[in-house]
Amino acid sequence: MSKAALKQAYIDNLFYIQGRFREVATPHDLYMAAAYTVRDRLLARWVKSAQAFKTNHARTVCYLSAEFLLGPHLANNLVNLGITKIAQESAADLELDFATILEEEEEPGLGNGGLGRLAACFMDSLATLCIPAIGYGIRYEFGIFDQRIENGWQVEKSDTWLRNGNPWEIPRPKICFPVNYGGYTEQYRHANGTLRRRWIPAQEINGVAYDTPILGYGVGNVNLLRLWKAEASQSFDFQAFNVGDYYGAVHAKIEAETISKVLYPNDEPEIGKELRLKQQFFFVSCSIQDMIRLHLHTVGALDSFAQKFAAQLNDTHPALAVAELLRLLIDVHDMNWEAAWNITRNTFSYTNHTLLPEALETWPVQLFERLLPRHLEMIYAINQQFLDEVRTRFLHDEERIARMSLIAEGEQRRVRMANLAVVGSQAVNGVAALHSELVKTTLLKDFYELWPEKFHNVTNGVSPRRFIVVSNPRLAELITEVCGSDDWIQDLTLLRQLEPYATDPAFQQRWRNVKTAAKCDFAQWLLLQTGIQLDPQALFDVQAKRLHEYKRQHLNVLHIIRLYQRIKQEPNIEVVPRAFIFGGKAAPGYYLAKLIIKLINAVAEVINHDPQIEGRIRVAFMPDFNVKNGQRLYPAADLSEQISLAGKEASGTGNMKFSMNGALTIGTLDGANVEIREEVGAENFFLFGMTADEVQRKQAAGYHPWEVYQNDPELKADIDLINSGVFSHGDSALFRPLTDHLVNHDPFMVLADYRAYLTCQERVSAAYRDASNWDRMAILNVARMGKFSSDRAIAEYAQQIWQVAPVAV
Ligand code: 26W
């Protein structure tokens, strides 16, 4: 880890791996040499960790997730190795521009949003807490699309993240498993004379492992992220080639590889997409087969499988694991039903990440019959056993049976993946206190009444390494100085030591300098990307997250239009200068979400070029909001918009990242906002809007957005201005689908919370006028965010759900 060794290794890697010497090296070569130099320093610890876990048969957490939104590796690994400074000095000695090298890294966008990023933060914390763990997922060749904004509209560009290779992964061609689809099942007489059933599949492909080391912060532990790539079991059919059928020769290869080709870009399910089900079964089958191989390799007999492994289902996307483990234990490893079922339901635990009914995955039984006939038989057998238990427990309650069944009857019978996950798990949790309550009282109420002991809450967290130390080194340095050490990076509750400085003018000044510098950096980057100039002195009011109606980006736009109209009506009115910054991708098929992006850009176009506004308010849509660009944005925000309709955002994690970087939050009592407000103090949080109970009551009583529209003249004026075409070059029809939907349906009650939101925003402006008081609140916010470290969340999973102990390497 010495500077001399780093520099030598860098030059060697540039020469021996990139085959370049300095003068002719491209920026990409310079980055690859750096990546290999750092990666090599992970490998030593990786091998030692694997040995340590193997020798003491460590109980291991397996995190099964269809998404891992990792973000760029280099800077994060330098922090976790504790060599960022040495690396910067080495780069300077070698006359390398460190920042340019970091910029060169392509981010592995193997996720959509919250769920995928949470999985990545959890992998960082599992290693940092020295808990042996394996992350299992899919090595998509194309991750989440790159977002371009053309003429105000989102345009998707395919994410060719692998085009220049990936230095952070190690291919494991020998770790390869067959995955089957289709065919039929039949009864046969087993050698031991018993009648058994077996699967005669129609198609077989291979799953090949690609391993990425996940180093913990300040520890020797390196865990494994094992992502599966689909390959044809026979990649070239020579017979077909011989008869000149060139497409036939490669058909199997193309068909197989399609399975891990691309990430589904929706963070809400698309009905019945067969490839999506094939993807889910693909990584589940490879992962379970790999866990069985590891167990047989280290322990031998499978009866202690559930003692060895605690497998977490990251939402329902991997729920097929319940049926697949059962199938493998019975059909392949000759275990009887009782023993196999016992192991299965003690191995898994399930996390729910959304209450949105349309987000609960169900698959047509027909699709199962065609694609996974043996698993359907397993599901029927599980269901029969389960419904017997329900019947004995709740006599004469056929509705309950119908609600709880793994099969939704009706003209198209469907398999309920959430029910399968709950029945096949020993624990179920939500991701914030309010959400976990709503899971128990609404979504999974029946199951909670049957198995209350299964239900837990583990409030989400985020990695302070990536989202403070890597993203905001100036802030990290200031905190370390005040705390007298950097122990806070591993124990975020130590941030409390900042409290006494909240009213210290000198410290406030340094605090403000850190924020202003981050705002300048971001403004400079945004100017390059969009040509929009922001004033770093303005209040940076930021909403960055996936575009979705329940997240209510359009409520934010109505506030902007209200401000605009006020200035137009009273040009001399004194307003606190604001820069409204939006970021976020819309699922390609989600029309209203894409229309909201267009509206934001259309409003920006008019306001930013209106001389009467004189820059008092600016609006900008930052393109391609992803982990890398998020790291630029979180340190630059003054105000964090967390304005979802109460009861809809399971937790949110962006809210934590903004608050940890000194932004104050304007938000509803939804998801983790509730707990952030509890921790930072109600007086340091801008609260507005209906509570989840009030929303449920209003929905039950009947909500009439049209009346709200008619009875609030400012609201009416704002919506009418949109319909006037002033933001769409006179085309009054462009945004009609959105405004009509608002005044006639408004499923997420934007109009109902409009007035309260506006009033709250006036409180924000008033607060921002008193800079030192604002800084006091911002400092207290950061000081009290310790709870929201993903280390605390993982410690709770380890204690409450996995019963796993750390193994320090
Ligand atoms: C099949 C498509 C699909 C893909 C992703 C359906 C649903 C999802 C996820 C469940 C959506 C998601 O990302 N949920 C978010 O999870 C975060 C981590 O727990 C929470 O903080 C967010 O509130 C929640 O919306």
The pLDDT score that the predictor gives to residue 737 is 98
Distance 690 CA to ligand 1 centre (A): 23
Sign of CA dihedral 98, 100, 101, 106: positive
What phi, psi does 631 have (nearest 5°)?
A: -65, -20
Mean pLDDT of 668-680: 98
User: Token pair 């860098």 is at which residue?
Assistant: 10
Query: Which letter does DSSP use for residue 216 in this model?
Result: P
Alpha carbons within 13 angstroms on the beta-carbon side of residue 283 total 33
Lowest mean pLDDT among 247-256, 429-438, 655-664, 735-744: 247-256
Written out in words, the top-level CATH class of the domain with range 504-788 is alpha beta
CA distances, 587 to each of 24, 264, 597, 625 (Å): 41, 9, 12, 13
Element of type H or E holding 352: none
Q: What distance in Å separates the CA atoms of residue 636 and residue 634, rounded to the nearest whole number?
A: 6
Q: What distance in Å separates the CA atoms of residue 590 and residue 706, rounded to the nearest whole number?
A: 24
Contact 279 CB / ligand 1 (< 6 Å): no
Mean pLDDT of 776-780: 98
272 token code pair? 């019945």
Residue whose CA is closest, atom 11 of ligand 1? 267
Residue 494 reports pLDDT greater than 80: yes
Mean pLDDT of 590-619: 97
Distance 122 CA to ligand 1 centre (A): 15
Whole-number average pLDDT of the chain = 96
Share of the chain above pLDDT 70, in %: 99
What phi, psi does 265 have (nearest 5°)?
A: -80, 20
Please report which confidence band the pLDDT of residue 699 belongs to, taking 50, 70 and 90 as the band edges. very high
Please report which confidence band the pLDDT of residue 55 belongs to, taking 50, 70 and 90 as the band edges. confident
Distance 29 CA to ligand 1 centre (A): 36
545 is catalytic: yes
Sign of CA dihedral 65, 71, 72, 74: negative
Q: What distance in Å separates the CA atoms of residue 606 and residue 597, rounded to the nearest whole number?
A: 15
Contact 739 CB / ligand 1 (< 6 Å): no
Is 331 in a helix, a strand, or coil? helix
Selection from 284, 751, 772 nearest residue 555 by Cα: 751
Q: What is the pLDDT of residues 618-649, one digit of tens each?
A: 999 999 999 999 999 999 999 999 999 999 99
Residue 268 reports pLDDT greater than 80: no
Sign of CA dihedral 399, 403, 406, 412: positive
Look up residue 116 and give its amino acid.
G
Residue 269 reports pLDDT greater than 60: no
Please report which confidence band the pLDDT of residue 272 belongs to, taking 50, 70 and 90 as the band edges. low
Is 312 in a helix, a strand, or coil? strand
546 is catalytic: yes
The pLDDT score that the predictor gives to residue 252 is 82
Q: What is the pLDDT of residues 535-586, one digit of tens each?
A: 999 999 999 999 999 999 999 999 999 999 999 999 999 999 999 999 999 9
653 is catalytic: yes
The pLDDT score that the predictor gives to residue 631 is 98
How far, in whole angstroms, is CA 270 from its chain's centroid?
18
Assign residue 638 a region (left: φ > 0; alpha: ψ between -120 and 50; beta: otherwise).
Answer: alpha
Q: What is the pLDDT of residues 302-350, one digit of tens each?
A: 999 999 999 999 999 999 999 999 999 999 999 999 999 999 999 999 9
Query: Which letter does DSSP use for residue 227 in this model?
Result: E
Out of 546, 552, 554, 559, the active site residue is: 546
CA distances, 476 to each of 230, 290, 501, 772 (Å): 41, 40, 15, 21
Q: What is the pLDDT of residues 215-265, one digit of tens each?
A: 999 999 999 999 999 999 877 888 888 888 888 888 888 889 999 998 888
Q: Are 232 and 256 in contact (CB under 8 A)?
A: yes
Please report which confidence band the pLDDT of residue 288 belongs to, taking 50, 70 and 90 as the band edges. very high
The pLDDT score that the predictor gives to residue 248 is 83
Distance 243 CA to ligand 1 centre (A): 49
Q: In 439-552, where does DSSP find H-type helix?
A: 445-450, 464, 473-483, 505-530
Please report which confidence band the pLDDT of residue 270 belongs to, taking 50, 70 and 90 as the band edges. low
Residue whose CA is closest, atom 5 of ligand 1? 267
CATH superfamily name and code, 57-72+107-460+794-802: Glycogen Phosphorylase B; (3.40.50.2000)
Please report which confidence band the pLDDT of residue 57 belongs to, taking 50, 70 and 90 as the band edges. confident
Contact 105 CB / ligand 1 (< 6 Å): no
Contact 353 CB / ligand 1 (< 6 Å): yes
Q: What is the pLDDT of residues 709-731, one digit of tens each?
A: 999 999 999 999 999 999 999 99
Sign of CA dihedral 112, 117, 118, 120: positive
Please report which confidence band the pLDDT of residue 94 belongs to, taking 50, 70 and 90 as the band edges. very high
Is 355 in a helix, a strand, or coil? coil
Please report which confidence band the pLDDT of residue 396 belongs to, taking 50, 70 and 90 as the band edges. very high
Mean pLDDT of 517-527: 98
Contact 650 CB / ligand 1 (< 6 Å): yes
Residue with the larger pLDDT of the pair 273 and 484: 484
Q: What distance in Å separates the CA atoms of residue 746 and residue 690, rounded to the nearest whole number?
A: 15
Out of 37, 212, 653, 668, the active site residue is: 653
List every span in the chain annotated with CATH 3.40.50.2000: 57-72+107-460+794-802, 504-788
Mutate which of 314, 353, 360 for ligand 1? The one with the most ligand atoms within 8 Å of its CB, which is 353
Q: What distance in Å separates the CA atoms of residue 473 and residue 461, rounded to the nearest whole number?
A: 20
Out of 276, 551, 585, 787, the active site residue is: 551
Q: What is the DSSP string of 593-623?
A: HHHHHHHHHHHHHHHHT-GGGTTSEEEEEES
